[in-house]
Amino acid sequence: MAMTTLPERVRKDFPILDREVHGKPLVYLDNAASAQKPLAVIEGQREYLANYHANIHRGAHHLAQLATEAYEGGRSKIAAHINASGTEEIIFTAGSTDAINLVAQAWGRANLTSGDTVLVTRMEHHANIVPWQMVCAEKGAQVVPVNVLEDGTLDLDDYRRALEQHQPKLVGFVHASNTLGTINPVSELTALAKKAGAVTLIDGSQAVPHLAIDVQAIGCDFYVGTGHKAYGPTGIGFLFGRREILEAMPPWRGGGEMIKRVSFDGTTYNGLPHKFEAGTPHISGGIALGIAIDWINGVGVEAITAHETALVQHAHAALGTLPGLRIIGTATEKVGVVSLVVDGLHPYDLGTLLDGQGFAVRTGHHCTEPLMDHLGLESGTLRMSFAAYTTREEIDRAVIALERAINMLR
């Protein structure tokens, strides 16, 4: 008796997967850029806007109470999902980029001084490089990268050496690389950084949709994630920070919501998490991100991880049959990301010809230019990235479509 596969169970939740592009059925393989939304998320946002929209936290009326409960419910779901020790450790942000900028500006400006080092890796997304360069330039500190090996894993020897040599104030690294798929040994990296006396920040943008996360077990100080890659809406994400470190951090943006009392003689700030949430937030986003997390848990994060691991293995094997094709990032532990290049061909041409056949992939440097430079990939890569609804058949068809594209270009 054949068991139902994960995609068979979940595809009905994603209306967009039934559409066509250029007259061909859509095959969506750009999930690392943004995942599609299940009906529950779409409906949940609509339901809020249609039935209980109001500004949160301050209204004495019924709708304000409903909206506040739903929004704070989203926060509780995030806290539970990553095993934070309390909801006050979860700050809603516009996304991962916004969360890292918050830490760089609030923690960084208070703690970095001239001569300090922020250690990151060469596989970071620009979002975990540029905010540090900005604050370091202001403070006379430096951003130092840790090397990445040929197979797309982090050079642990270089990491240990850099910790020793630079005694960084903060170490930042991706949980999983958006370009290579590599899953970093985050607990080990965190433990080593802590031993060297550094504060740790993990960019979990690519991990939240694919992996079970336990920030207490990892032991990190900060962990950031974004909603839209995890089946939720755009414009919403989160910063996890350990309570003590968040309490010691000054606020970044000022305004309503984040204050206890305002007067021209002096203003006092609100407690956690609101101290870092100035202004009216993305209420529907917070609610819908909670629904997206419910959806992930309903499907089962372990089932998603297992499914995507199998897809990556299948894709590696199937793509390996195409002559001149090289997979970029062959770590043993990967999320559902497969980057590739084909000898003599430009990723943009391949991506365009895949688009013409109904396949959505990403080409270019994937906002990881230092990594592309390091690997000598001037034109970037073509990246296929998977989600819970991706099927083996879609990957097989993508391989055939890619072969056709290669033949057209040769």
Partner 1 sequence: MSTELIASRQNDVIEEFALFDEWMDKYEHLIELGKDVPAIDAGRKTDDHLIKGCQSRVWLAADEGEGGTVHFSADSDAIITKGLVGLMVRVLSGADAKAIAEADLHFLDAIGLHQHLSPTRSNGLASMVQQMRLYAAALAARRA
Q: What residues are annotated to the active site?
A: 367
Q: Is residue 299 within 8 Å of 388, Cβ to Cβ?
A: yes
381-410 residues near partner 1, rule: CB under 8 A = 408-409
Return the number of the residue (59 or 364) whose C-beta is nearest partner 1.
Answer: 364
d(CA 152, CA 125): 14
Which of 217, 214, 126 is CA-nearest to residue 172? 126
Q: Report, in Å, the least distance between residue 179 CB and partner 1.
A: 14
Q: b vs e for 259-286, b when ≥16 Cβ sit within 10 Å of the residue's Cβ?
A: beeeeeeeeebbebbbbbbbeebbbbbb
Contacts of 75 (CB under 8 A, 6+ apart): 87, 90, 92, 238, 273, 286, 290
Nearer to partner 1 by Cβ, of 198 and 402: the residue is 402
Closer to partner 1 at the Cβ: 233 or 380? 380
Site string (300-339) toward partner 1, x via CB under 8 A: ----------------------------------------
Among residues 198 and 377, whose Cβ is nearest to partner 1?
A: 377
Indicate which single residue of 87, 133, 147, 379 sits in contact with partner 1 (rule: CB under 8 A).
379
Question: Residues with Cβ < 8 Å from 185, sequence gap 6 or more?
Answer: 154, 156
Candidate list 308, 380, 387, 390; residue touching partner 1; CB under 8 A? 380
State the minimum distance, in angstroms, from the CB of residue 96 to partner 1.
Answer: 20
CA distance to 141, 161, 182, 201, 262, per residue, from 332 (Å): 35, 24, 8, 23, 54
Neighbour-count burial of 64, counting CB atoms closer than 10 A to its CB (0-12 exposed, 13-18 middle, 19+ buried): middle
Asked if the peptide bond before residue 273 counts as cis, ω within 30 degrees of 0, the response is yes
Taking the complex as a whole, how short is the minimal distance between the CB of residue 165 and partner 1, in angstroms?
35
* Closest distance of CB 22 from partner 1, Å: 5
Residues 341-370 touching partner 1, rule: CB under 8 A, are 346-349, 351-353, 356-357, 363-365
Hey, what are 100's tokens? 């890292």
Shortest Å, Cβ 97 to partner 1: 17
Among 2, 23, 261, 376, binds partner 1 (CB under 8 A): 23
Looking at the Cβ atoms of 262 and 408, the one nearer to partner 1 is 408
Residues that bind partner 1 (CB under 8 A): 22-23, 346-349, 351-353, 356-357, 363-365, 379-380, 408-409
